[in-house]
Chain A
């Protein structure tokens, strides 16, 4: 984890509680990874053995491509990317300019529920970010 984003204890606790809540309240959810926009894993809560470091880097690439595609399509600010697979979903959202959240579920999950739970979690984490860890 980059030194610039070492989490204060209070904020870390909020993040852990928020990610745990997503997992508990979303049927089929099995992982949530908080990462920096440039691909460093910050914190993860998972029910499976997920390579959170690799996932953090990959979701960074994904969001960066989303942002680039938006620009090429004369749109702006990619908010989230959904990867729908034969046996599950990956939702990656931008929380702030520097933080992202990715959630993972099996296909028994309702995509709408997973997306809304992920968005609510991102909003909660975004509001709880101490100013000194998030220089805009």
Chain B
């Protein structure tokens, strides 16, 4: 039986903890702490180290799912968590002030890892009236000369999160 390590990242509140919790077969491991800063306006807690969950595919392959903290001050955890990883899912919250800037942050900070592995970009709250349309994310990637899958997802739904994993795994298979 093989094992594959995948990593969820993205800004605070994008749903990394929720996504892993939506599909994990084991009780998800979280490292939430009380928020004391501007994040309090949207949530009480934040991930300080990592989230963890597991999913077993039909062929017996075990996916080990790790979620990173979102804030840049926790970048030390980003470097630790990608070690041994085979793919990245960037979750973007389209209700945040500048989702395209968020995308830039995670593409830049995980550039080496993405180059070695693969990435899927998932836009949550995609129909938020103030957020850019999905085409803007694709255009942004194109401007940077990058070709990555961009999907919309409701990460509270198990089927949506599994769909993201399937797209990522398919991409890795054909890379």
Interface residues of A (CB under 8 A from B): 2-5, 36-40, 53-54, 56-58, 60-65, 67-68, 72, 97-98
Contacts and interface: CB of A to CB of B under 8 A. Distances in A.
A37 B49 contact: no
- Is chain B's interface secondary structure helix, strand, loop, or mixed overall? mixed
Interface string B31-44: 11111111110000
Contacts of A60: 33, 48-49, 74
- Interface size bracket, B side: 20 to 34
Interface of B: 29-40, 46-50, 69, 71, 73-74, 76-77
A68 B30 contact: yes
Contact of A53 (B47, B50, B73): B73
A58 B33 CA distance: 13
A40 B31 contact: no
A26 B124 CA distance: 51
Nearest to A61: B49
Contacts of B76: 54, 57-58, 61
A36 B36 contact: yes
Contact of B36 (A4, A54, A72): A4
Nearest to A62: B49
Contact of A64 (B33, B38, B40, B71): B33
B29 A64 contact: no
A57 B73 contact: yes
The CB with the most chain B CB atoms within 10 A, among A36, A61, A62, is that of A61
29 contacts: A2-B38, A3-B37, A3-B38, A4-B37, A5-B36, A36-B37, A38-B33, A38-B34, A38-B35, A38-B46, A38-B48, A39-B71, A39-B73, A40-B37, A40-B73, A57-B71, A61-B49, A61-B69, A61-B77, A62-B49, A63-B33, A64-B31, A64-B32, A64-B47, A64-B49, A65-B31, A68-B31, A97-B34, A98-B34
B43 to A, nearest CB: 11
Contact of B37 (A2, A53, A67): A2
Contacts of B38: 2-3
A63 B36 CA distance: 16
A60 B77 CA distance: 11
Contacts of A39: 48, 71, 73-74
A37 B45 CA distance: 10
Contacts of B73: 39-40, 53-54, 56-57
A63 B46 CA distance: 13
A72 B29 contact: yes
B37 A38 contact: yes
A108 to B, nearest CB: 27
Contacts of B74: 39, 57, 60-61
A112 to B, nearest CB: 28
Contacts of B36: 2, 4-5, 36-38, 40, 98
